[in-house]
Structure 1
Amino acid sequence: MSLLATATNGVAWTDLHLSPVALDLGFFQLRWYSLAYLAGIFLGYWYMLRLIREPGAPMARRHADDLVFYAALGVILGGRIGYVLFYRPFFYFHNPLEIVKLWDGGMSFHGGVVGTSLGILYLAWKHKLNWLRLHDYVACVVPIGLFTGRLANFVNAELWGAPTTVPWAVRFPELVAGVTVLGPPRHPSQLYEALLEGVVLFAILWWMFWRTRARYEPGKLTGAFLLFYGLFRFGVEFIREPDAQLVGFARATGLHMGQWLCIPMILGGLWLFLSAKGRRERVEPIVGTESVA
């Protein structure tokens, strides 16, 4: 708070004494980016177990154990493949070995959504479960990972916002003519997204799950997640810098790549949300027992 109170030209990221590396053993480095994914997976798994203890769960504990594996695999593979295809296809085409360097960052949330959905669909097919209701429960969990991931983006000093004069602006290290210098004061858009996509979105889905009957209307929670995430991400992108290699694309199309990818999420989420009531069904208090309305 003292830094914010006295800042006249933005807070220097270096003054926050942050480092992308959480543990350096010389021969091995553990990065906060990796820890963020692990924390999101394990905290999400814990919360999922809490959700399925409530009446009406679409799966049993054994299914949740499998789900966390398929979802984690989908997030990692889908997120990386999505980043390669959507954000840096030409670079990775010429440098294919760079694709496996996940520790350097570079994950697409939209690709992660596709990968996770494929994992859920496989699990539902394998165990004959309701695939849409599985998505509803996973949707309630995802904001936890989004929150930890956006915090890691801030620690990595990446995906920053556009230049600004707000008192909480941050000056991130930037590479200029081969030299790393502190750039102009910028929006800490990573923290905005951590708040909106993590805290606020989690609160919305928490309220819908625990205070309404949304979990008995297949697709309603999934629709809410897609709709609100899409709106939050679309809005923040206006004050976020596009990836360096996509600046020309943003100027030519008028929108960032992330915004274009959010449009089908918003439309699909709105349809799922509004049509969910028509899919209201009798569900099981737990898998394999007597139905309750």
Structure 2
Amino acid sequence: MTPLLVDFPVFDPVAIAVGPFAIRWYALAYIGGIVLGWLYARSLLKKERLWGGPAPVSLVQLDDFILWVTLGIILGGRTGYVLFYNLPFFIDHPLEIFELWKGGMSFHGGFMGCVLAVIWFSRRNGLPILSLGDLTTAVAPIGLLLGRIANFINSELWGRTADPSLPWAMIFPRDPTHLPRHPSQLYEAGLEGIVLFIVLAIMIRFGALRRPGLILGSFIGLYGTARIISELFREPDEQLGFFWRHLTMGMLLSVPMLIVGAILVARALRKPDTHQATPSLQANP
């Protein structure tokens, strides 16, 4: 079989430039993920049948929450990257912690930032924490999908070396080895973005939002599973390498998610439906 290697094209990391101002693809991914997630969350809140009654969060409260969850994503994502992935470098170059345009964000840190935002906002506004967590994680795959596509466009976080006979093996221009590799960014976009969104959407349609914590726990557990699978094809960060043979930092950080997710799902399923649907709603979940 003749090897079919894809020579990855070089994309300009800057998507839009107007004079001295530049917007990068990665920034657009964050903006697009937040805006589309907000719109999807609003549509979920408007459908009382999904909640078995009035939604526990109002549209006005959701609009206010967007600012806080955005801060949680950015501050948590950057803090997680600094602590988990490149702490020695940032100790020596502390000012570069604030240079977000150079890249360097951690999903696990961003997720913890979102958790803190959900808890803080819920307590401040008297909202059920688990329900707001369900709403937040229901829309999260949209941002994950766009973020991984931005990683692909930026030719970063590429995969491990692949068999040259693999039809979609790619040579990334920023890779000094020029070896064929898995496009692991696309694997992650598919698993963490598309597949996870579809699974959660189906669960929502069949009444998962009526059991607080079920979508939240499912997201946590399924993301952890998807990330561990994706890490099998992703090249570990150069400054970290592997831990204990073939384990990566992404895998280690995802293991606790499997445990927490399973606990939340089990608790949600044990509790009775907190919003009993009417017979007509039960007939059309």
Asked if TM exceeds 0.5, the reply is yes
Q: 8 Å contact 1:189–1:236 — kept in the other structure?
A: yes
Q: Does 1:29 align with 2:27?
A: no
The one-letter code of the counterpart of 2:30 is: Y
CA contact (8 A) 1:7 1:167 kept: no
What is the CA distance between 1:8 and its match in structure 2? 2.7
What corresponds to 2:124 in structure 1? 126
CA distance in 2 between counterparts of 1:253 and 1:123 reads: 41
CA offset at residue 281 of structure 1? 4.4
Equivalent AA in structure 2 for residue 112 of structure 1: G
Give the share of equivalent positions with the same residue, in percent: 44
Cα separation, 2, equivalents of 1:139 and 1:127: 19
Q: Which segments of 5 or more consecutive residues in structure 2 lack a partner in the other structure?
A: 278-285
Aligned to 1:217: 211
What residue identity is the alignment partner of 1:226? I
Trace 1:151-170 onto structure 2 (pairs within 5 A): 151-165=149-163, 166-170=166-170
For 1:222 and 1:7, how far apart are their aligned partners in 2?
46
Q: Of 169, 178, 184, which aligns to 1:183?
A: 178
Out of 12, 15, 20, the position equivalent to 2:13 is: 20
Shift of 1:99: 1.0
CA contact (8 A) 1:171 1:185 kept: yes
Tell me the distance in 1 between the aligned counterparts of 2:2 and 2:40: 39
* Equivalent pair of 1:9/1:185 in contact (CA under 8 Å): no
Residues 38, 202 of structure 1: alpha-carbon distance in 2 compared, 3 angstrom cutoff: same
Output one character per residue of 1:195-241: Cα deviation in whole Å (capped at 9) or x when no partner.
Answer: 1100000000000001x121111111011101111111001101110
Q: What's the counterpart of residue 235 of structure 2?
A: 241
| 1:66-145 mapped onto 2 (5 Å cutoff) | 66-145=64-143
Structure 1 residues 26, 9: CA separation in 2 closer, same or farther (over 3 Å shift)?
Answer: farther
Give the secondary-structure state (helix, strand or coil) at the position aligned to 1:129: coil
Deviation, structure 1 residue 175: 5.7
Residue 272 of structure 1 is aligned with which of 241, 244, 264? 264
Aligned CA RMSD, in angstroms, stands at: 1.8
How far does residue 282 in structure 1 lie from its aligned partner after superposition?
A: 3.0
Change (3 A) 1:253 1:63: farther
Shift of 1:279: 2.8
* Structure 1 stretch displaced more, 20-29 or 196-205: 20-29
Distance of 2:195 and 2:274 partners within structure 1: 30
Which amino acid in structure 1 is aligned with residue 173 of structure 2? Answer: P
Asked whether the equivalents of residues 143 and 198 of structure 1 are also in contact (C-alpha less than 8 Å), the reply is: yes
Instruction: Output one character per residue of 1:44-81: Cα deviation in whole Å (capped at 9) or x when no partner.
Output: 00001001012232200111011111111100000000
Q: Is the 8 A contact 1:154 1:191 kept in 2?
A: yes
> What one-letter code is carried by the residue in structure 1 that aligns with 2:232?
F
TM-score of the aligned structures, taking structure 1 as reference length: 0.88
Q: Which residue number in structure 2 is paired with residue 257 of structure 1? A: 249
Of the candidates 193, 202, 212, which is equivalent to residue 197 of structure 2? Answer: 202
For the residue of structure 1 that corresponds to 2:235, the secondary structure is: coil
CA distance in 2, matches of 1:146, 1:253: 28
Deviates more, 1:118-127 or 1:269-278: 269-278
Q: Which moved more, 1:257-266 or 1:62-71?
A: 62-71
The answer as to whether partners of 1:58 and 1:284 remain within 8 angstroms in 2 is no
CA distance in 1, matches of 2:273, 2:122: 18
- Partners of 1:58 and 1:280 in 2: CA distance: 17
Contact map agreement 1:159 1:240 (CA 8 A) in 2: yes
Give 1:266's aligned amino acid: L
**What is residue 282 of structure 2 aligned with on the other side?**
none
TM-score by length of 2: 0.90
2:38 is matched by which residue type in structure 1? Y
Q: Is the 8 A contact 1:216 1:280 kept in 2?
A: no
Q: CA deviation at 1:160?
A: 0.4
Contact 2:145 2:190 in 1 (8 A): yes
Q: What is the CA-CA distance between 1:9 and the residue it aligns to? A: 4.9
Aligned equivalents of 1:37 and 1:7: distance in 2?
A: 39
| Runs of 5+ unmatched residues, structure 1 | 1-5, 177-181, 286-293
